[in-house]
Structure 1
Amino acid sequence: MSDLELVISAGRASLGDAWRAVRIGIAGGRIATLDAPASPGVPEVVLAADEVLLPGLVDTHVHVNEPGRTEWEGFDSATRAAAAGGVTTLLDMPLNSIPPTIDPDALDVKRAVAGPKARIDVGFWGGAVPSNLGRLRELHDRGVFGFKCFLSPSGVDEFPHLSTDELHRAQAELAAFDGLLIVHAEDPAVLDAHVDPDGGAAYARFVASRPPEAETTAIEHVIAGLRAHGGRAHILHVSSARTLPLIAAAKAEGLRLTAETCPHYLTLDAEHIADGATAFKCCPPIRDEANRDALWAGLVDGTLDLIVSDHSPATAELKLDPDGDFTRAWGGISGLQLGLAAVWTEAARRGLPLEFVIHRMSRATADFAGLADRGRIEVGARADLVAFAPDRAFVVDPERLAHKNRVSAYAGAELRGVVARTWLAGSPVDADAPPRGILVERPFPLVE
């Protein structure tokens, strides 16, 4: 073991469903052994007694917004916040950057901007919009992890949504080369039927304008496309528990459907959102406590596969409407840095173990993305690791977050669980050191 570059010693490390003491030896950025011997000259880090060692989280749903809307976030601030929250790999959504990632030239622009700034590893989703249908293979062959589409207006003009017919065309096209479609599933006809013409500050009226039927109807269209064309689809940011029977039945039928939910749907509820509190606006919306309980049940029984942040920031001017009008405020929650602590706080309250949370935010998300060497602590895996103090508490002060815009739905909340240190490929992520993240691509099979 003379080639080891670092040893990390922990009294408890998360190895899947088991915890054990480890002395992780790292060589070439990967885990060489879980039982490293004492090696003179090899630096060693010993975790504190109240810290456990976790695999780095893989967040497959992040809006970085650079270039074009870098004042909303950007790769420097996003990857700093990610590392501070225990995330070592993120996948960037194709919007709200300008240009959106809907063709190879736009992907080149995104990669050129991200590469010099990434403090953790970064990959990219492509977009499926009406204008690029029939040409999705071009982006697939460039290594994007799949294609995001909206079934209702996205909120930005440069990323239009797909009609139901266009959705099914995209599904047929992607099925031909086993590409993955990830779907913002809200049906525009249902939304149009529930438009609140007066808007205003009443949170209940905002929720009523985006009812559960918008999600269930859209998911029915996705499932119909899977039945007709085969292929794979993934439902993004499930907010309504009424969708769970649909998703479960599709899985039982053998359709290749997966689904995710997000920290804000698992930890916040409508009963505790004040009128005018537009920091809580997101689409689909945060619903009531009973719905939140049912989403947790969907995670426990496996209907929901992943927990991801759906980090969707904006400037304070866009997010905090001066009149508290939910119609005018930007919809999105900034949760990249706080997702692990928020979910663990709620999971612990419900009596769920830490390994339940870690699996759905690391190994499950890594496997979903095809990154089988991440999100786990085992020999051969990348040494992306996190020292986490699960019983330390802190109060969220937005001014101390690394997000570019210090607007948080968790402001003032007491959360449980502190990320003490993060290692990327065996080296600490240092806010004062040059960025060391790499740009990752979808793994290519030997024959495609």
Structure 2
Amino acid sequence: MAASAHITHLPLELVQTIAALCPPDDIARLGATCRHLHRICDAFVFQAAFLYRLDDPTSNHITTKTALREVITQRLSSADAAHAKAVWTRLAAAACELPLLADELYSRLIHYESIPWDNSFPRPAPVDPRVRKIIGTLCTLTVLGYPAVNDFTITASLTGLTARLIDPDFWQAWDPNPTTRITLAAQLAFCLATGILGHRVLNNMPLLTNRIVSSFGTRSPESVVFRDLRDAGSFEGAQTAALLQIAFLPWLLRADVAVLRRGDFPRPSALPFFRRGDSIPIPLPDGIPSQPIRSTRGDDPPDPTRFLSSFACAPSWSAWLRATVDTLIDDLPRGEWVGYTTNSFARESEVAAPMRGVRFSVRPPVDNEDPDEIRISGEDGIDGQGAFRLEGTVFRLTGRVTMMKIYGGHAWCVEATLTPLGIAGTWGASARQPFGFVWMYRREWAREGC
């Protein structure tokens, strides 16, 4: 080969552009052929491969994939080159697989699309590791503005898997480690809730609702699962319980024709999962530094699957969830909060008139008060019973919210949790005597004009 034709004489940008058109595993193999290509196939190539395979995100906050790349790059600015390359490798792999993820998840969960009430499934077993990875991937992509779970067939299967999850026998079989079990449950609940907000799903909803409602009965089998979530002192456990509630509330509330016509639930594209300039970490997959090439001859090329096969994002997912809730707590006074309460735990033809006009304020802590217990007031609220105000506390460590909803002549107790999709919980005479559900969210998240 003539010296002028050697690959090292080709323009760097040309080689990187060609490499970016290849699937990520081929890029990794290309980088293993010689030292020169190993240096060229850096994080920039995987960035380009990631962007090449994706359209612009659906988020209202980051609207172009170029802006998305800038945000992710900023988040990785403190990482070393090997870690950044591994992260972009995983993102490129996810983008490459995105069209197939929905089909694969559906095929693996097809038997959950319509599950029986009589628990006639085979004996519970641990969740398929591939299902775990896909759910983790979908969580990351949803936050980045690519809600792959916004697909009817996937959401239908996820409702069945979730209903099976809160079967006490199946709950224990998910994972013997309660920490990883609850993290997986939180990711599943997040995927399901955002998917259901994107469209209407009827599959398994009566069973899912029945099991979650039954969990409020102290002697029901399902209460064991929710006691595990709520009483473990786990932030993610509390988030899971609240997100599961948000997952079925649209179905419960849409029984009222007025609610159905109003269509004023949060839109996934409007939810502030991440924004330019904020400090919330994106739940990126954790990188594994690739080993340097010691020789260009005689050695087998490194197996690219060692950093492509795993897309587990549990540590950074947990960090994203924690930071998102903290930001919502700090931003409580911003904007108007709206929402709904139900008059019971059943699916009825009428629900309470919507809450409107709530504007929160935060009272600074005084001496001897725990700074993580934030005193809040909600003024100017109005619903079907008339004008009301809210007085209560947000507990930063768990996201728990306790409030009194005070009218002119009476008051109700609200026990809830602040999640990335709003405040969800119950209302009633006391925490131990709930009468129905409550769900509040920012008005700016709902359909424009509501």
Q: TM-score, normalised by structure 1?
A: 0.27
Structure showing greater Rg? 2
More helix by share: 2
Q: Which structure has greater strand proportion? A: 1
